[in-house]
Structure 1
Amino acid sequence: MTNPRDGGSRPNRRDALRPVEYVGGAAIAAVFTAFIVFFGTRDWNIALITLGGVFIIVLMVLALLTMAVKPNPGEHGDGTGGDPDRRRGDGSGH
């Protein structure tokens, strides 16, 4: 069931749950920071503002870092250094 009827491929479970990991991580950081701010100030308004701000900032940083990473194609890990002649296995390489 990896190929739906429309011809596209479905992402695996890890790729499908990746956004949930990012939102969950941002939420944990925001709650932790708001908890510290609340016990430091005893003011709910400042704690809630901190919670929202930290959530947005952490989520944006995670999204930007994710966009900066470019996954390598499968052929880059084969020890050829990207040389197509060495990849053929004709023995003319080093």
Structure 2
Amino acid sequence: MTEPRRREKLRPAELVGLAALVAVFLGGVIFLVTRDLVLSLLFFGGTFVFDLVVLAMLMLAVTPNKPADGEAPPDTPHD
């Protein structure tokens, strides 16, 4: 079995970083508008969790699955 490449190992960190970046932006905007630190922290946390869930669902939709037992791989022509 081959070792995963560096890009494959860093993919989860990229997704968490992207979710954190969006959450920091929204938390900062809420803080600048309301000047309420607790409200901005609530929006930061909620946005971070929501973004992680949405990005995980999108990655599941994009990532190709292995063929089931007995099925031909998608590269081979069908009989």
What is the TM-score with the length of structure 2 in the denominator?
0.81
In the TM superposition, residue 74 of structure 1 has moved relative to its aligned partner by: 7.5
Which of 41, 51, 60 aligns to 2:34? It is 41
AA at the equivalent of 1:32: F
What is the 5 A alignment of 1:55-94?
A: 55-71=48-64, 75=75, 82-84=76-78
Q: Tell me, in whole angstroms, the C-alpha distance in 2 between the residues paired with 1:49 and 1:21.
A: 23
Identity of aligned residues (%): 46
Aligned partners of 2:17, 2:45: CA distance in 1, in Å?
Answer: 14
SS at match of 1:60: helix
TM-score (norm 1): 0.69
The answer to whether 1:13 aligns with 2:6 is: yes
Q: Which of 1 and 2 has greater Rg?
A: 1
Counterpart residue identity of residue 58, structure 1: D
Unaligned runs of 5+ in 2: 66-72
Provide structure 1 residue ranges, at least 5 long, that are not aligned to the other structure: 1-7, 76-81, 86-94
Could you list the structure 1 runs, at least 4 aligned residues long, displaced by more than 6 angstroms after superposition: none
Cα shift readout 1:22-76 (whole Å, capped 9, x = no counterpart) = 000000000000000000100000000000000000010000011112338672x
Aligned equivalents of 2:38 and 2:8: distance in 1?
A: 36
RMSD: 1.9
More contact order relative to length (CA 8 Å, sep ≥ 6): 2
